[in-house]
C-alpha cells in the first residue's frame, strides 16, 4: 500500500510523538503538559488520515496536573503494545512523576496509572521521557532521560538511564545504571530501545528541542549495552539549514504501510526574515528510514508537505468532541453544553490565572481565522489565543464594551470600544494572517487581527504582532490554543466558525 506522507503528520500543538503498529493499524501518542484531557491517541489505517480516538487521562487524578507549574505535566509518552495490551509510559513532570498506564483498547478507558518506583519502592524513578521495552525473555526494561526535576539538584542531568522493572509491583529490580548518552549534545533525552535483526538499538534526541535538535543512535548486543555509536550521527537534524521544518528530533521508529520504515518526530514551521518564530509550536512530522547494509539506519531530512486548508462550523447541540481541551482541568469542569450553547461561568479568574475558565482547540494552520457568536448579557468573557498565562491575546466583551488585549510576559496593552446595551449575540473575531508586503522582509511569523461585529457593524479593534505568541518568545512547550473563556457571570457561545490554510 502506498501512502502520502503529509507533513505535518498531525497539525498544531502535538509534540514528542510515539507510534506503535498493531497488525495493520497505527496508533500515535503525544504530549499535553498542563492541558486536559491528557495524552491524545490518534489512529490511522494508512498513515495518511489520522483520527483522534481518545485520550489516556480522561478522569481527575490520572495526571496530577492541577497544580503543576507551567510547562509541567505530561511529558513525552512512549506507546507500545504486547500480548493484547497497550502500554504507555510518561513523565508527569512536577506532578505524579514517572507513570505506567495500560488499556486493552487504545481509545480507552486507560488505567489510573501506576508510579514506576526505584529499587527501594520509595519514590518514582527520577527522570523524564521514559521508554518501555521487553527483553527476549519478557523482562521489562525502562530507559529514560535522567533530568532531575526537584530537590537540591533540580536541573542536573545524568544522561540516559535504565533499569529493569517488575510491572506487577512497578519497582525497579536493580539499581539504575547509565547507558549511552549520545555524541555530546545537550539534553540527551527521548530514548527508545529497539530489537532489530539480532541487535539492540537505542535512539535518542540530543541538542535541545530548539534549533540544535537532532536524533542519534547507538547499538549493542544487549538492551543494557555496551553500545557502539553510529558513525553518521546525527541521523537527522535541521540545524544550520534553510529547511522549512526546523527543530527536527525526538523520533520514534515504526514499519509503515508499504513495509518500509518510518520515523515520526517533532518539528516546527518557523517564519520571519530570519525564520525565527514558530507560531504553532512543536508539531508531529514523519520521514522515511532506510537500513544500510552495515546494519545502521538512515533517516531522510523532513520535507514540508502540508495538508489542504480546512473550514468548519461547530454547533453546540451535541456534546463537545475530543478536540476540546482545558487548562489544568477537564473541559466538563469549566464548561457545559446546554440548549445549543457552550456555557462557561466565570470565577473571577482571568487568562493571567493558572486555572482560567477556558476551553479551546489547537490552532492547526499558520493562517487561521475564528469567529464566534457569543452572548455576554449575563457576564464578561470572550475568545482568546493562549500559549500560557503570561502570553495570550483576546477579544473580550461585557460591561457595555468590547476590548482587545495583548498580554506578553507581564506587559499589557488594551484597546476598548464602547457598545452600550448592544443586542446579543455579538460576533468576536481573531485572525492570524501573513504580514502585509511592505517592500521588505517580514520580521514576524504573522499578525493577529482582533475585531468584533456589533449590530451588524464590524469594528476593527487592533493588530498584534504574532511573534509574541510563538514558541521562541513564550519559551513554552505547548502551542497556540484558541478558546472561549469567562471571567465573571455566565458567557454563552452559540456558534463557532474556523477556517485556515498553510499557504
Query: Measured between alpha carbons, how far is 469 from 460 in angstroms, rounded to an integer?
Result: 20
Which residue is catalytic, options 16, 252, 388, 502?
A: 16
Query: Measured between alpha carbons, how far is 193 from 202 in angstroms, rounded to an integer?
Result: 5
> Cell numbers 480522561 correspond to what residue?
58
Grid cell at residue 14: 502535538
Query: Measured between alpha carbons, how far is 443 from 479 in angstroms, rounded to an integer?
Result: 20
Catalytic residue flag (residue 437): no
Which residue is catalytic, options 34, 118, 129, 189?
A: 189
Grid cell at residue 163: 533499569
In sequence order, the 6+-apart residues with CB closer than 8 A to the CB of 153 are none
- Nearest CA to 90 out of 80, 104, 100, 105 is that of 100
Query: Measured between alpha carbons, how far is 164 from 191 in angstroms, rounded to an integer?
Result: 15
Q: Are 12 and 266 in contact (CB under 8 A)?
A: no
Residues in the chain: 503
Q: Is 440 exposed, middle or buried (0-12, 13-18, 19+ CB in 10 A)?
A: exposed
In sequence order, the 6+-apart residues with CB closer than 8 A to the CB of 211 are 238, 239, 246, 247
Query: Measured between alpha carbons, how far is 395 from 414 in angstroms, rounded to an integer?
Result: 10
Catalytic residue flag (residue 174): no
Q: Is 94 exposed, middle or buried (0-12, 13-18, 19+ CB in 10 A)?
A: buried
Q: Are 141 and 132 in contact (CB under 8 A)?
A: yes
Q: Measure the CA dihedral 304/186/71/496, to 10°.
A: 0
Q: How many helices (H) and strands (E) does the chain have?
A: 2, 36
Give me the phi and psi of 449, to 5 degrees please.
-110, 120
Active site residues: 16, 189
Amino acid at each position: 500500500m502506498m501512502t502520502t506522507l503529509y507533513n505535518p503528520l498531525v497539525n498544531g500543538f502535538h509534540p514528542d510523538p510515539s507510534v506503535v503498529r498493531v497488525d495493520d493499524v497505527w496508533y500515535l501518542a503525544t504530549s499535553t503538559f498542563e492541558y486536559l484531557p491528557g495524552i491524545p491517541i490518534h489512529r490511522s489505517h494508512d498513515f495518511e488520515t489520522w483520527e483522534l480516538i481518545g485520550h489516556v487521562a480522561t478522569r481527575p487524578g490520572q495526571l496530577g496536573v492541577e497544580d503543576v507549574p507551567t510547562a509541567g505535566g505530561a511529558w513525552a509518552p512512549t506507546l507500545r503494545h504486547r500480548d493484547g495490551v497497550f502500554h504507555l509510559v510518561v513523565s508527569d513532570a512536577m506532578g505524579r512523576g514517572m507513570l505506567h498506564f495500560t488499556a486493552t483498547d487504545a481509545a480507552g478507558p486507560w488505567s489510573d496509572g501506576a508510579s514506576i518506583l526505584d529499587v527501594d519502592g520509595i519514590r518514582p524513578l527520577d527522570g523524564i521521557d521514559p521508554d518501555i521495552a521487553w527483553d527476549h525473555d519478557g523482562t521489562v526494561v525502562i530507559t529514560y532521560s535522567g533530568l532531575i526535576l526537584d530537590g537540591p539538584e533540580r536541573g542536573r542531568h545524568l544522561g540516559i538511564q535504565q533499569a529493569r522493572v517488575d510491572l506487577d509491583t512497578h519497582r525497579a529490580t536493580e539499581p539504575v545504571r547509565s547507558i549511552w548518552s549520545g555524541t555530546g549534545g545537550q539534553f540527551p533525552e527521548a530514548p527508545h530501545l529497539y530489537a532489530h535483526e539480532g541487535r539492540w538499538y537505542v535512539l535518542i534526541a540530543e541538542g535541545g528541542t530548539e534549533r540544535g535538535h537532532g536524533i542519534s543512535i547507538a547499538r549493542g548486543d544487549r538492551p543494557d549495552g555496551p553500545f557502539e555509536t553510529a558513525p553518521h550521527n546525527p541521523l537527522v537534524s535541521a540545524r544550520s539549514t534553510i529547511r522549512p521544518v526546523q527543530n527536527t528530533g525526538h523520533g520514534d521508529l515504526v514499519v509503515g504501510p508499504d513495509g518500509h520504515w518510518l520515523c515520526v518526530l517533532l518539528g516546527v514551521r518557523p517564519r520571519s526574515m530570519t525564520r525565527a518564530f514558530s507560531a504553532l509550536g512543536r508539531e508531529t512530522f514523519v520521514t522515511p528510514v532506510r537500513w544500510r547494509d552495515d546494519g545502521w539506519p538512515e533517516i531522510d531530512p523532513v520535507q514540508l508537505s502540508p495538508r489542504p486548508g480546512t473550514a468548519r462550523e461547530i454547533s453546540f447541540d451535541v456534546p463537545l468532541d475530543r478536540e476540546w481541551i482545558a487548562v489544568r482541568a477537564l473541559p466538563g469542569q469549566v464548561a457545559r453544553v446546554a440548549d445549543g450553547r457552550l456555557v462557561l461561568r466565570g470565577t473571577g479568574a482571568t487568562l493571567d490565572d493558572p486555572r482560567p475558565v477556558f476551553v479551546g482547540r489547537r490552532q492547526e494552520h499558520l493562517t487561521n481565522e475564528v469567529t464566534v457568536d457569543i452572548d455576554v448579557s449575563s457576564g464578561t468573557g470572550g475568545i482568546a489565543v493562549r500559549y500560557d498565562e503570561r502570553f495570550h491575546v483576546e477579544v473580550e466583551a461585557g460591561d457595555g464594551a468590547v476590548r482587545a488585549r495583548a498580554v506578553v510576559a507581564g506587559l499589557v496593552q488594551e484597546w476598548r470600544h464602547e457598545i452600550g446595551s448592544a443586542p446579543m449575540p455579538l460576533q468576536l473575531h481573531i485572525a492570524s494572517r501573513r504580514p502585509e508586503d511592505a517592500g521588505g522582509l517580514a520580521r514576524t511569523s504573522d499578525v493577529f487581527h482582533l475585531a468584533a461585529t456589533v449590530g451588524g457593524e464590524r469594528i476593527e479593534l487592533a493588530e498584534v504582532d504574532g511573534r509574541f505568541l510563538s514558541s521562541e518568545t513564550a519559551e513554552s512547550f505547548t502551542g497556540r490554543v484558541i478558546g472561549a473563556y469567562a471571567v465573571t457571570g455566565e458567557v454563552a457561545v452559540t456558534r463557532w466558525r474556523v477556517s485556515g490554510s498553510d499557504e
